Structure 1
Amino acid sequence: MKFLQAAGADFLGMGPTLPLSNSAAEVLHKLDDLRRRTQSTAEDARKLEQDQEAFALQYHECTKVNAHIQQLVSQGTAQDQQATYIKRKEMLELDLNRRVAALMELRLKLTEKYKQIYQVLHQLQSQIIDDELIRWKRDQQLAGNGVPFTSNLDQIQDWCESLAEIIWHSRQQIKEVERLKQKLALDPPGVVDVLPSLLTEITQLLSSLVTSTFIIEKQPPQVMKTNTRFTATVRLLVGGKLNVHMTPPQVKVTIISESQANLLLKNDKLIKGGDSSGEILNNTGTMEYQQTTRQLSVSFRNMQLKKIKRAEKKGTESVMDEKFSLFFQSQFSVGGGELMFQVWTLSLPVVVIVHGNQEPHAWATITWDNAFSEPGRCPFQVPDKVPWGKVKETLSQKFKWATGRGLTEDNLRFLAEKAFRGNYSESSNCMLSWAQFCKEPLSDRNFTFWEWFFAIMKLTREHLRGPWVDGAIMGFVKKKQAEEMLSTCQAGTFLLRFSDSELGGITIAWVSDTQEVFSLQPFTSKDFSVRSLADRIADLGHLVTLYPDTAKEIYFQKYYTPFQEQRPSTNGYIKPVLVTQVLGLAGTNYNTPPHAFMSPDPTRDTPSVDSSYAGSVATTATAPQLGMDYLDQLDDNSYAALGLNNDFDLMMNYGK
């Protein structure tokens, strides 16, 4: 048995092409050309075998005639009788020389055809694997940031299967021609037999194709929480054509660190069980072949990361900066055990967390990696600085994927000012550093740019999606700019903007009867879990017109909770209704006692007015005021020591 070990598929990737694209048409044309070439060489090989058999018969006949002549000479037979056989021998030898020349010419012709086929195969395989499949992988990675992903993996599989079939047939033909040559040694002088080296090269081509098409069809989650179930699917694109499923391969999954991934790529040494960086439950599976889809794959549906081994941290590094990867490995035979392949592939980078509070920074690491990693990098290197143009594209894609609508140029200009701490110039190609993105706190804040952005995105996704998609929320606008915009508007005009001082907060700024501009204390996710934004806007009668001049009902009425008349229940109780009111302000939709405006909170940049719930008792849970920078430094054991388990959500009071 010949044993082949080859590197696994590149874990970075790049994506979809249209079915009728120029590249697809080119691939199909080349595959058709290769099929015609291999059919031609198959016919030539059959002719070579037939001609060689005919030569062997002729040679045997010539040998018999020559032996008969020798017998006649030894017996002293008459010269005229000998002459007849000598003439026959000369004719046979002349024909044999002609046949030898034809055989050598056909062999050389076949060898040249196989060399050309190999060159075309090598070029086409590079196009399919290094261009099309890598592009698919790259698009799969970008899909992790919300970029639309239309998979053409089935089309790529068709190409790979056709390629595997042609390579296998060509390999079998070369082996057969080599066998025929060994049966009849007719090597012309000065001509080197290249078939053995050609056989080695085409076998290596097959090896490369097999190992490169062992891919992760469905990636595991890139932010992975310990003791939480997750899934992944791996697939061998050439499994059906090579009959790999006849002996179903086993696939094993382990988690490895960034340094282990680097060693793996450098040395191509498969990871042993003790070399992993953690323990995964349900980490083995058997690949199955589906006749209807012609897919050989295995889906891991119940994996769970039980524990993780982390590396030593340096300087400002946190556990959420550390990247891991899932390592999938298998081995299988082709050609009835003639060839044995060891295959492996790496997942996209994974950040492991033990608590929900680690999620924002973990997603910063993954978002930066997905967006800005370079093809062919060493795991898992990323640039420290990238042009703002690329960052803003990533932020908009991420926001659209999460909320249903992307960011406008005005939104992105606002984000640039915030990310660069007011030092942004559109005329220059500003470079944003990783530290500015998610390490260094914003000016006069105890949270980073990414933490602020992520909290806004989460709030919008969970509570504000409808109004945001409708365009009812301006969102990304400074307090001063909002006041200037509203200052010339009629009383009752309002707009919605995201809070600068509070993570995941949105405030309502409006024009009062005295043409003053006020801002409500920001609402957060906790507020909207009690009463929605639309219902709160309905509660506040002094909010009349959404900036610049649209009645609020146009945008928000469809989101109002339908009013139902309250009747006593069977136990005699009536359920209370929670409504939003601004104390002491006329125009509230419910009768409330008059109170004076509350003094603005000097620690906030937005609220001038506090809001409360009518008919309800407000209860507030407090928690340790731990900054995110501090939480980033906590390891898994530290969370346990603080009593923060996976079921407890630590409430953060940023800027309070």
Structure 2
Amino acid sequence: MSQWKQIQQLDIKFLEQVDYFYDDNFPMELRQVLANWIESQDWETASNHESMATVLFNNFLIQLERQCSQEQNFLHRHNLKRIFHQIQVKYKTNPLHMAAVICNCLREERRILSTASMQEQGPLEKSMQNSATLEKLKVLDNKVAVIRSSVQMLDQGVKYLEDMQDDFDFRYKTLQLRDPVERNSLTMKQEVTTLQEILNRLDFKRKEILSKIADVIKEIDTLISSQLNPELKEWKRRQQIACIGGPVLIGLDQLQNWFTLTAQSLFQIKRQLDKLGELILKVTYEIKYLIYHLIKSSFVVEKQPCMPTHPQKPLIIKTQVQFTTKVRYEPQLPCKQVYFHKQLTAFSPTQLLPILISLFSFTQITVTEELHSLNFEAMLMLQGLDIDLETCSLPLVVISNVSQLPGGWASVMWYNLLTDDPKNLGFFSNPLRASWSQLSEVLSWQFSSFAGRGLNKEQLNMLGDKLLGMFSINFLGYENIPGKSFSFWLWLDSILDLIKKHLLPVWIDGYIMGFVSKEMERALLKEKEPGTFLLRFSESHLGGITFTWVEQDENGEPKFISVEPYTKNRLNALPIADIIRDYKVIADGVVPENPLKFLYPDIPKDEAFGKHYNSQQNKGLISANLYLSQILSDPNKPYFNGKLIYSDFR
């Protein structure tokens, strides 16, 4: 089943996450009509090679044009043609960007499928979901709607007051024009009495409306302090978790709607107070304070700093490499201008840009051992008010060489896992400890976001046994694994890279056990049929995968044979599925045979890997210089040091 068909079978809560990252950059209609073709292309490689990206871009347009010509529905055909021209204009000069966008969409789909398929959720993911429960959203929606309704009612009251005031003004001016001789007449006295009654009612009505306005202002104040600001804080926390591979970030558009409606209510009240004339001074200060507070608090970093070459590792910046970030304020209110102080640039929003979204690019930043943060300052000119805005990015790590990327990413993960204070730049002077339940969830996210399938409970337990044997759960930092020349994070990063580039289909199918000690490996295999094997990641090689199978010796006792780990250099030549299919052992006097029969626990090899075999079977053999019996008896030879011999008999 194609990935897109699997997506369409998900529950609505996951479909909403999918809907979030499909936008004008890559409309979902294109994902639908070109699903199979899109999934058959290597977008990840293309996103880093311009020539390949250009070829894919041109082929993409050909596929889309063909789809347009075949579409029978007039409206669908019209929409596809419109999208065709939009995509052509948008990416014609930058096909790398399109490849990166599609690659990211496919990656996010895999991550959502992985999340949906996992039986259990970790405490962090549960807390993220609990912070945005459906019931909570309904309560907030209802509260904002009630306030809007109350403000609309106040408008009607103010309009009635204006009509009453107009009536009084007319009567009073008419009275003023009467002949002075008539002022002591009964009619004049009655008119004066009527005017006094109208004036009393005006005064009473003004005070009544002012009292209602004061009540609504209190409701808005409570709404902002007890609901909107906490929701915004929780969204920022969800953004932190999403930065380190957690659940897809959603909710900003909903927040924007709440902030917009609340801001509209405040400005509407301000206009009502302006009309109340002499009573305005009693509450103007509070209204202005709420407006300032609401707008200032809603100025957020929508997209955290990120290098386009490493979209899955935000908050790591390499010197002399461009990175981007986006900021925006929430209320959709038309403004005159926005000035960004540091850039000395004025932005004039148009009708097409009701929400300010500013994209910044940076290249110059200095390496230090400390965390950094980008501050953004702006001045917003909005409906007669000048509002100073300020926000900052999450702390970021600056590196000077890509070899520092795994360690930098460890810092980013550790920080965002354990604190939500965006200004705690001295965090690593005394880093907090993490619980295994926290760390294990983040480790699983790395595989979910980078490779489309997270770690199951058994894999996490095996990884935890290994990890807890090497470290306490302090910050793992940059120190090497005991007895190794590399750190835990470099080891993990090399495994993720190996999966992405060489093992992805097999990994997504769940056929790589991955993290298992040699002791556990033997315990799992010893009771199994001869020829049962499993795949695990090497502990001694960076980015290596090996397989171990079980046989029986002359006495019927189990024997365990492991091959030398396959690294990316060897897997460049031959996919892992073909290696397993064609693997053979040569020993003196024995016809070469494939010892691999069943993938643990008991899946026939061809059933597990058959769909990943190349159609042209390789006729290579696995050979060894030592007899199998010698290998099995030599404790100094932990691996079967076989090599692939490639022959082309075509």
Whether the TM-score (by the shorter chain) exceeds 0.5 is yes
Structure 2 counterpart of 1:155: 254
Compare 532-541 and 357-366 and name the one that shifted more.
532-541
Deviations 1:285-307 (A, max 9, x none): 9475564x85442344xx3423x
CA contact (8 A) 2:372 2:425 kept: no
In 2, the alpha carbon distance for the partners of 1:449 and 1:51 equals 77
Please give the TM-score of this superposition, normalised by the length of structure 2. Answer: 0.68
Deviations 1:346-374 (A, max 9, x none): 22222122222111101101111222223
Structure 1 counterpart of 2:292: 207
In 1, the alpha carbon distance for the partners of 2:303 and 2:425 equals 20
Structure 2 counterpart of 1:491: 530
Q: Where does 1:310-459 land on structure 2 (aligned, <5 Å)?
A: 310-311=367-368, 319=369, 322-335=370-383, 338-374=384-420, 378-379=424-425, 381=427, 383-421=431-469, 432-434=473-475, 437-459=476-498
What amino acid is the match of 1:305? T
Residue 563 of structure 1 is aligned with which of 616, 623, 628?
A: 616
In 1, the alpha carbon distance for the partners of 2:345 and 2:551 equals 65
Structure 2 counterpart of 1:114: 213
CA contact (8 A) 2:316 2:396 kept: yes
In 2, the alpha carbon distance for the partners of 1:580 and 1:236 equals 62
| SS of match in other structure, 1:332 | strand
| SS of match in other structure, 2:434 | strand
Residue 139 of structure 1 is aligned with which of 230, 233, 238?
A: 238
Residue 230 of structure 1 is aligned with which of 323, 341, 358?
A: 323
In 1, the alpha carbon distance for the partners of 2:373 and 2:621 equals 49
CA contact (8 A) 2:375 2:393 kept: yes
Question: Over aligned residues, Cα RMSD in angstroms?
Answer: 3.5
What amino acid is the match of 1:400? S
In 2, the alpha carbon distance for the partners of 1:116 and 1:438 equals 54
Structure 1 counterpart of 2:274: 175
As a proportion of its length, which structure holds more helix? 2
The alignment status of 1:531 with 2:531, answered yes or no, reads no
Residue 609 of structure 1 is aligned with which of 620, 634, 640?
A: 640
CA contact (8 A) 1:128 1:160 kept: no
**Runs of 5+ consecutive residues of structure 2 not aligned to the other structure:** 1-126, 307-314, 584-593
Deviations 1:519-570 (A, max 9, x none): 22222223222322222222312222222322222222222233279xxxxx
Q: Judging changes above 3 Å, is the alpha-carbon distance between structure 1 residues 227 and 535 closer, same or farther for their aligned structure 2 residues?
A: farther
| SS of match in other structure, 1:224 | strand
Residue 309 of structure 1 is aligned with which of 366, 369, 376?
A: 366
How far 1:403 sits from its partner (Å)? 1.9
| SS of match in other structure, 1:325 | coil
What amino acid is the match of 1:527? R
What amino acid is the match of 1:506? I
The alignment status of 1:507 with 2:564, answered yes or no, reads no
In 2, the alpha carbon distance for the partners of 1:614 and 1:41 equals 85
How far 1:116 sits from its partner (Å)? 0.7
CA contact (8 A) 1:598 1:610 kept: no
Q: Judging changes above 3 Å, is the alpha-carbon distance between structure 1 residues 95 and 526 closer, same or farther for their aligned structure 2 residues?
A: same
Structure 1 counterpart of 2:33: none
How far 1:461 sits from its partner (Å)? 2.6
CA contact (8 A) 1:214 1:235 kept: yes
CA contact (8 A) 1:16 1:152 kept: no
Deviations 1:369-423 (A, max 9, x none): 2222236764564751122111111111222222222222222222222222279
Structure 1 counterpart of 2:151: 38
What amino acid is the match of 1:32? A
CA contact (8 A) 1:504 1:525 kept: yes
CA contact (8 A) 1:539 1:581 kept: no
In 2, the alpha carbon distance for the partners of 1:362 and 1:36 equals 50
How far 1:438 sits from its partner (Å)? 2.7
How far 1:102 sits from its partner (Å)? 1.9
In 2, the alpha carbon distance for the partners of 1:509 and 1:372 equals 38
In 1, the alpha carbon distance for the partners of 2:622 and 2:249 equals 45
In 1, the alpha carbon distance for the partners of 2:350 and 2:458 equals 51
How far 1:172 sits from its partner (Å)? 1.0
Please give the TM-score of this superposition, normalised by the length of structure 1. Answer: 0.67
In 2, the alpha carbon distance for the partners of 1:288 and 1:607 equals 67
CA contact (8 A) 1:15 1:137 kept: no
In 2, the alpha carbon distance for the partners of 1:103 and 1:615 equals 98
- Structure exhibiting the larger radius of gyration computed from Cα positions: 1
Q: Judging changes above 3 Å, is the alpha-carbon distance between structure 1 residues 285 and 513 closer, same or farther for their aligned structure 2 residues?
A: farther
In 2, the alpha carbon distance for the partners of 1:55 and 1:379 equals 64
Residue 25 of structure 1 is aligned with which of 138, 143, 146?
A: 138
| SS of match in other structure, 2:473 | strand
What amino acid is the match of 1:142? I
In 1, the alpha carbon distance for the partners of 2:197 and 2:540 equals 95
In 2, the alpha carbon distance for the partners of 1:285 and 1:86 equals 66
CA contact (8 A) 2:559 2:632 kept: no
Q: Where does 1:544-623 land on structure 2 (aligned, <5 Å)?
A: 544-563=597-616, 580-584=622-626, 597=631, 607-614=638-645
What amino acid is the match of 1:210? I
Q: Judging changes above 3 Å, is the alpha-carbon distance between structure 1 residues 329 and 372 closer, same or farther for their aligned structure 2 residues?
A: same
How far 1:204 sits from its partner (Å)? 1.9
In 2, the alpha carbon distance for the partners of 1:585 and 1:539 equals 19
In 2, the alpha carbon distance for the partners of 1:304 and 1:35 equals 41
| SS of match in other structure, 2:363 | strand
Q: Which has the higher contact order (CA 8 A, sep 6+)?
A: 1
What amino acid is the match of 1:433? N
In 2, the alpha carbon distance for the partners of 1:286 and 1:16 equals 36
Q: Judging changes above 3 Å, is the alpha-carbon distance between structure 1 residues 287 and 388 closer, same or farther for their aligned structure 2 residues?
A: farther
In 1, the alpha carbon distance for the partners of 2:192 and 2:349 equals 60
Structure 2 counterpart of 1:568: none
| SS of match in other structure, 1:227 | coil
In 2, the alpha carbon distance for the partners of 1:67 and 1:601 equals 126
How far 1:615 sits from its partner (Å)? 5.2
Q: Judging changes above 3 Å, is the alpha-carbon distance between structure 1 residues 104 and 219 closer, same or farther for their aligned structure 2 residues?
A: same
Structure 1 counterpart of 2:24: none
Instruction: State the number of aligned residues.
Output: 497
**Runs of 5+ consecutive residues of structure 1 not aligned to the other structure:** 1-13, 70-83, 182-192, 253-271, 274-282, 312-318, 424-430, 566-576, 587-594, 617-656
Compare 85-94 and 456-465 and name the one that shifted more.
85-94
What amino acid is the match of 1:532? P
CA contact (8 A) 2:394 2:422 kept: no
